[in-house]
Amino acid sequence: MKNWVKILGICLLLYVHTAGLLAEVPRLNILNETVRALYFHVPMWFGMTFLFTMSVYYAVRYLRNPSPELDRKVLEYANVGTVFGILGIFTGMLWANYTWGSPWHGDPKQNGAAIALLVYLAYFVLRGSLDNQEQRARLSAVYNIFAFAAMIPLIFVIPRMTSSMHPGSGGNPGFNAYELDYRMRMVFYPAVAGWILIGLWITSLRIRLKTVEETIIDIEDEK
C-alpha cells in the first residue's frame, strides 16, 4: 500500500471528525443533533461491505489459482470487515435507542447486517474446525462465495421491498430529507472514503504481519 494513500485516509478522517461535529446540519425532528451520527455510523457499514466484497473477490481468485498468499488475504479482509461490522452494529444500536426507541427495532437493514455478521462468524467457525491447511482454505473459500451470494438478496433487495426506518425506503419523510442535503454529502462521502482507506490499511498491515509470521515458522522448520 502506497504511503500517500494512507496519508489521504488520515487527512480525510481528521477532516470528517472536525467537520462532522462543527459543520451545519439540517434541522430535523426526532433526530435533532444525532443526525451527525450518520458521519460515523454509516461509513462502518460501507467499510464492512467493501471489505467483505474484497474477501469474496480474493476467494474467487483463490479457487481459480490456489496459493496460501491469497488465502491469507481472504481471511484478513473478512477479519477486518467483521470488526467494522461489529462497530457498526453497536453504534447503530445506540443511535436506534435514541431515535427509534429501542436498540433492536426489527428493521430489515439491521437484520440484514446482523446476518452478514453471522455468515462471517460461521466462516471463522468453519476455518477453526478444519485441520488440513489446503482443505481449510478451499472449503472456506467455497463457503465464503456461497454465503455471500445468498446474502445479497437479503441486504440489497429485501430492504427496498419493504418499509424500512432507514432512509431510502418506506415512508419516512423526515428521514429522507437529509438524503439530498448537499451539506451533509460534503462530509459523508469523505467519511466513507476515509474509513475504507483506513480499513484497507489495517488489512494490509495484518496480511504483512501474517506473512512475516509464516516465513519465521518456515525458517524455524528448516533448522
Partner 1 sequence: MLLTLIRKEFMLELRRKAVISGIGLYMFSLIFICYLTFSLRQNSINEATWSALFWLAILFSVVNSVAKSFIGEKRGVSIYYYTLASPQVVILSKILYNTLLCLVLSFTGYGLFALFIDNPVQDTLYFLLTLLLTSMGFSSALTLISGIAAKANNSHILMAVLSFPVVIAILLMAIRLTKNVLDGIDRSASLDELLNLLAINCILTALAYLLFPYIWRS
Partner 2 sequence: MKNKLLTTLLSLFIILTAQAQADVEMADTMRSEGKIYVVVGIILIILIGLIVYLVLMDRKVSRLEKQLSDRQR
Q: Does 143 bind partner 1 (CB under 8 A)?
A: yes
Nearer to partner 1, 81 or 194 (CB): 81
Pick from 67, 135, 211, 215 the residue near partner 1 by CB under 8 A.
Answer: 135
> By CB under 8 A, how many residues form the interface with partner 1?
29
Distances (CA, A) of 161 to 95, 155, 156, 164, 174: 24, 11, 9, 9, 20
Q: Does 118 bind partner 1 (CB under 8 A)?
A: yes
Nearer to partner 2, 187 or 196 (CB): 187
Which of the choices partner 2, partner 1, none does residue 113 contact, using the CB cut-off of 5 to 8 A by kind?
none
The answer to whether 210 touches 72, Cβ cutoff 8 Å, is yes
Return phi, psi of residue 199, to 5°. -60, -45
Which of the choices partner 2, partner 1, none does residue 147 contact, using the CB cut-off of 5 to 8 A by kind?
partner 1
Nearer to partner 1, 155 or 196 (CB): 155
Q: Does 122 bind partner 1 (CB under 8 A)?
A: yes
Which of the choices partner 2, partner 1, none does residue 80 contact, using the CB cut-off of 5 to 8 A by kind?
none
Say which residue the cell 423526515 belongs to: 174
**Contacting partner 1 within 145-204 (CB under 8 A):** 145-147, 149-154, 157-158, 161
Under the rule (CB under 8 A), what is the footprint of partner 2? 6, 10-11, 13-15, 17-19, 21-24, 27-29, 32-33, 183, 186-187, 198, 201-202, 205, 208-209, 211-212, 215-216, 219
Q: Which residues bind partner 1 (CB under 8 A)?
A: 63, 115, 118-119, 122, 125-126, 129-132, 135, 138-139, 141-143, 145-147, 149-154, 157-158, 161
